[in-house]
Structure 1
Amino acid sequence: MTDKSCPITPGVPDLSTIETVSLNPENTLQNYQKAMVIAKEQAEQRLEEYMLISWYDRDRDFESPPNTTEKSDDGPKDGYIHYGLNHGAKLKVDIENGRFVFFFTPIEW
């Protein structure tokens, strides 16, 4: 029996507790480094002091921390999402519809 009142799909990360910023620059970004500059600007505006927790670069199909996706098939990587959420991420910056994705947490002193 399925509980239809549950808004969370099993296996899909719940991003409802974090702010998500989706950006689509007019000019396609050249690489990950350019995306990182933009993502850090967004984090600084929203969090002041912050730490990058995890990220994904679809061009290279690389996630950080590496090997956090525990799948044997060729499905999309999502370990970086779970890692970010489980380590206090409060901001997700998605650039070019998932091409580059960054998770940040505020630093609280």
Structure 2
Amino acid sequence: MRRLRLDAPEWGLDFATAQRLAAAVAGVLLGEATCLSWYDRERDYEAPAGATECHDGCPVPGYIDYAANRGAELLVEVDGGRFVFCYRSIEEFL
């Protein structure tokens, strides 16, 4: 999975704005894409919920492992991991 880092702490991005930016980037790089998983460090929320519970002590967080095992091609990391979004192109499904 390729990683793209967006660092702009001076903008004070909230989750919704970071999500829209990540989706736009995924659209440019992958074409039509879907978000397979995400993480919000400030609220300690992830989707799918509970993905990290069975990864306690593992080097790879559950939300990343979940996406990687479902064909994710792009990980967008915002502000040093404050928000993380994993995407896969849906082109093969069209």
Q: Deviation digits for residues 19-70 of structure 1, max 9, x if unmatched?
A: 21100124121x2101101100100110111111000000100110000111
Q: Secondary structure at the match of 1:52?
A: strand
Equivalenced residue count is 90
- Based on CA coordinates, which of the two structures has the bigger radius of gyration? 1
Q: Tell me the percent identity.
A: 39
Q: Secondary structure at the match of 1:103?
A: strand
Amino acid paired to 1:33? A
Asked whether 1:65 is paired with 2:48, we answer yes
Q: Which residue of 1 aligns with 2:35?
A: 52
- Structure with more of its chain in strand, by fraction: 2
**1:91 alignment partner, one of 63, 74, 80:** 74
Q: Deviation digits for residues 53-90 of structure 1, max 9, x if unmatched?
A: 000000100110000111567x9981101000001100
Higher relative contact order (CA 8 A, sep 6+): 2
Structure 2 alignment gaps of length 5 or more: none
Q: Which residue of 2 aligns with 1:104?
A: 87
For 1:34 and 1:96, locate their aligned partners in 2 and report how far apart those are by CA, in whole Å: 12
TM-score with structure 1 length normalisation? Answer: 0.75
For 1:82 and 1:47, locate their aligned partners in 2 and report how far apart those are by CA, in whole Å: 20
Amino acid paired to 2:26? A
Q: Secondary structure at the match of 1:34?
A: helix
Q: Which residue of 2 aligns with 1:80?
A: 63
- Structure with more of its chain in helix, by fraction: 2
Q: Which residue of 2 aligns with 1:28?
A: 12
Query: Are the aligned partners of 2:55 and 2:62 in contact in 1 as well (CA < 8 Å)?
Result: no
Q: Report the CA distance shift for 1:20/1:77 in structure 2 as closer, same or farther (over 3 A).
A: closer
For 1:88 and 1:71, locate their aligned partners in 2 and report how far apart those are by CA, in whole Å: 19
